[in-house]
Chain A
Amino acid sequence: MIRFENVTKVYDQTARPALDSVNLEIDRGEFAFLVGASGSGKSTFLRLVLKEDRATSGAVYVAGQNVANISSWRVPRLRRGIGVVFQDFRLLPQKNVFANVAFAMQVIGKSRSIIRDTVPEVLKTVGLEGKEHRMPHELSGGEQQRVAIARAVVNRPGILLADEPTGNLDPTTSMGIMGVLDKINQNGTTVVMATHDDDIVNEMRKRVVELRNGIVIRDEARALYTSMMPVVGQSRRFKDASGRPDGSAADPGDGVASTQSGEEL
């Protein structure tokens, strides 16, 4: 569904690349965490998928298409196939819950009757039944993020990108949001979530792609936030490599991050 081939992104010639020769494939229906410290390139990865920015070199494929070959007037169509949620929710403060979700359908020309049918359905999926007429400021942070998720998926995109969606939420609320994302993933949507919330990653046991300084240093299925395997360039060594939950990960002696995509499907 998403494939990065040797992708490098340089914003500023004088600085190190935000992404450095990234090779990665995320299959249809997968749920992948993108983890790493602040500035490691997670948001950049997501922006390249959306064609918000252009890769300096290498190729980004979304749904089999090289995004570099998508002409600017067809970029909207690419984006209709991708839902996005952010840490700061980005709701429209003067519109109520229903109108915020409906907005995403109005602007792509969906008919009023389809909107009337679809929006309540999606609000039910994210657990906001009966709150259609609340204004954003009358909602908790978790509820606001659910509205944002509803808006991102209301047009049934094949991919949902989430950039630190739980960054502003407390742990309990965050787990609720993860439940919603998981449900959406169960319905067949590919989910890529950038985060540095270790509790969530450890709880979910999904694929984890770890970035450091723009380099993929780990790609592990059903993984924890912190690697259980030694990694190139990492001075710290784990004494007990067998402690990792997923025996399919790379050979501990090898030390090279392996790519094992979509094996949980």
Chain B
Amino acid sequence: MRLAFILSEIGSGLRRNLSMVVSVILVTFVSLTFVGAAGMLQLQINQMKGYWYDKVQVAIFLCGDGSTAAGCATGTATPEQQENLRTLLESPAVAQYINDFQFESKDDAYKHFKEQFSNSPIVDSVTPDQLPASFRINMKDPEKYQIISETFSSQPGVETVIDQRQVLERLFSVMNAASLVAVIIAGVMIVCAILLIATTIRLSAFSRRRETGIMRLVGASKTVIQLPFILEGVIAAVIGAALASGTLWAVAHFFLGEYMSKQYPDTAFISPAQTLILAPALLGLGATLAGISSLLTLRRYLRV
């Protein structure tokens, strides 16, 4: 009976304050979407780290036709220079830092390039000659990159030594910055959401002060008096959180899954299923926000 009564009170409260309830839903929706976006970026970074870190290597690029580096005074790297580098890589001093290495010829490089940019017209304008040959080194400890770099940069026939991990790190730091921005926007929006929920509850308590006054007088418990107001805010916030979760899922499914993964086929994007891990967190966060802000409001505006 009491439950049915509380439910009907919630229903009438939601109907009476419909426009406020809709604005609470929208504000929580937008703020939690930003929270979720930050979460998705972090998931994506983890995904890419897991995918790339055992694949990325230190690459020693050999001199090509137009190379201008100091070690390239003799023009395109000669087979002898190549052999010297291979010997050096196999020497105990260097071998202790690496798992294995591969030689990537100009033709191999051209093949990989074609695979990577298969949908791009740039492929047609590139010839194998323009791509440098390289040694691809799989490090035991990627942090030891500096040692390889120092050893090989000055070797004749070497144009440059590149730590591919650093290229990725730069990408990750951009993504981290983006997720930080998302978190800051989310923070501001959450403050809006809290204030709006507090105002909504206050209006709701005001418009029903007759009922609550009578409830107090006839001895209704604090729970029966306050719960409809608290649940009103919680329900609106949870609807907003559900919309935010749905939006994140849609982004993962349509944008990442259908569009981005075709544009960048060799990048591992997070799956829509993975975004669903975020959903319970967003729902919980929405409910907690609403619960806390309505409790604080009621303490001031709904004496029991």
Interface centre among A50, A90, A109, A155 (most CB of B within 10 A): A109
Cβ of A131 under 8 Å from chain B: no
The answer, yes or no, to whether A15 is at the interface (CB within 8 Å) is: no
What is the CA–CA distance of A103 and B225 in the complex, to the nearest angstrom? 12
**Is A151 located at the chain interface by the 8 A CB criterion?**
yes
The residue in chain A whose Cβ has the minimal distance to the Cβ of B221 is: A76
Chain B proximity of A156: nearest CB distance (Å): 12
Contact residues of A between 69 and 95, Cβ < 8 Å to B = 72-73, 75-84, 90, 92
Is A265 in contact with chain B by the CB < 8 A criterion?
no
Whether B92 sits at the interface, judged by CB under 8 Å, is: no
What residues of chain A lie closer than 8 Å to B75, measured between beta carbons? none
- Judged by a CB distance under 8 angstroms, whether B214 is at the interface is yes
A235 on interface, CB distance cutoff 8 Å:
no
Tell me whether B304 is interfacial, beta carbon within 8 Å: yes
The verdict on A106 contacting chain B, using a C-beta distance below 8 Å, is: yes
Q: Given that A50-B217, A155-B218 are contacting pairs, would A107 and B210 also be in contact in the complex, using a CB cutoff of 8 Å? A: no
From B214, B220, B222, B304, give the contact of A90 (CB < 8 A): B214
**Across the interface, do B219 and A78 meet the contact criterion of CB distance under 8 Å?**
yes
Chain B residues, CB < 8 A from A104:
214, 218
Query: Taking CB as reference atom, which chain A residue is nearest B8?
Result: A106
The answer, among A72, A77, A79, for a CB contact under 8 Å with B217, is: A79
B98 contacts A by Cβ under 8 Å: no
Instruction: Label chain B's interface by main secondary structure.
Output: helix
Q: Is the CB of A76 within 8 A of B1?
A: no
Distance, CA A81 to CA B219, complexed state (A): 8
Does B300 lie at the interface of the complex (its beta carbon under 8 Å from any beta carbon of A)?
A: no
B220 adjacent to A107 (CB under 8 Å): yes
Is the beta-carbon distance between B216 and A79 smaller than 8 angstroms?
Answer: yes
Residue in B1, B211, B219 whose CB lies within 8 Å of A92: B211
Query: A90 — which chain B residues lie within 8 A by C-beta?
Result: 210, 213-214
Contact A76 B220 (CB under 8 A): yes
B301 at the interface (CB under 8 A from A): no
Contact of A112 among B1, B224, B225 (CB under 8 A): B1
* Total A-B pairs, Cβ < 8 A: 61
Closest Cβ neighbor of A77 among chain B residues: B219
Assess whether B215 is in contact with A107, with CB atoms less than 8 Å apart: yes
A76 to B220, CA, bound (A): 6
- B216 and A109: CB pair below 8 A? no
Query: Given the complex, which residues of B lie within 8 Å of A72, measured CB to CB?
Result: 222, 304
When chains A and B are docked, how far (Å) is the Cα of A104 from the Cα of B2? 12
Per-residue A-contact encoding for B118-143, CB less than 8 Å = 1, 0 else: 00000000000000000000000000
Q: Does A108 contact B (CB under 8 A)?
A: yes
Q: Which residues on the A side are within 8 Å of B218 (C-beta)?
A: 79-80, 83, 103-104, 107-108, 151-152, 155
In the complex, the answer to whether A107 meets B304 with C-beta atoms within 8 Å is no
Given A106-B5, A110-B1, A112-B1, is A155 in contact with B219 using a C-beta cutoff of 8 Å?
yes
Roughly how many angstroms separate A111 CA and B218 CA in the complex, as a whole number?
16
- Are A92 and B222 interface neighbours, CB within 8 A? no
Contacts of A50 in B (CB 8 A): 217
Binary contact readout B211-246 vs A (1 if CB under 8 angstroms, 0 otherwise): 101111111111011000000000000000000000
Write the chain A residue with the least CB distance to B303: A52
Q: How far is the CA of A94 from the CA of B220 in the complex (A)?
A: 20
Within the assembled complex, what's the spacing in Å between the Cα atoms of A153 and B120?
84
User: What chain B residues lie within 8 Å of A82 (beta carbons)?
Assistant: 219
Report B3-18 residues with CB < 8 Å from chain A CB.
5
Bound CA–CA A50/B215 (angstroms): 13
**Central interface residue in A78, A103, A112, by most chain B CB within 10 Å:** A103
State the CA gap A112–B8 with chains docked (Å). 14
Chain A residues near B211: list those with CB within 8 A: 92, 103
Query: Does B224 contact A107, Cβ atoms closer than 8 Å?
Result: yes
Q: How far is the CB of B12 from chain A (nearest CB, A)?
A: 9
Contacts of B224 in A (CB 8 A): 107-109
Residues from chain A with a CB closer than 8 A to the CB of B217 are: 50, 79, 84
Set of chain A residues within 8 Å of B1, measured between Cβ atoms? 106, 109-112
Identity of the chain A residue whose Cβ is nearest the Cβ of B218 in the assembled complex: A104
Alpha-carbon gap, A50 to B216, bound state (A): 10
| Docked complex Cα distance between A83 and B218 (Å) | 7
Cα distance, A107 to B2, chains bound together (Å): 7
**Residue contacts A-B, CB under 8 angstroms, 29 given:** A72-B222, A73-B221, A73-B222, A75-B304, A76-B219, A76-B222, A79-B217, A79-B219, A103-B211, A103-B214, A104-B214, A104-B218, A106-B1, A106-B2, A107-B2, A107-B5, A107-B214, A107-B224, A107-B225, A108-B219, A108-B220, A108-B221, A108-B224, A109-B1, A109-B2, A109-B224, A151-B214, A151-B218, A152-B218
Given A103-B211, A107-B218, A109-B5, 13 further pairs, Cβ under 8 A: A73-B221, A76-B221, A79-B219, A84-B217, A92-B211, A103-B214, A104-B214, A107-B2, A107-B225, A108-B218, A110-B1, A151-B214, A151-B218
Interface residues, chain B, with chain A CB atoms under 8 Å away: 1-2, 5, 210-211, 213-222, 224-225, 304
A interface list, Cβ under 8 A from B: 50, 72-73, 75-84, 90, 92, 103-104, 106-112, 151-152, 155
**The 7 residue pairs across chains A and B that have the minimum distance between CB atoms:** A80-B219, A79-B219, A107-B220, A109-B2, A104-B218, A76-B219, A106-B5
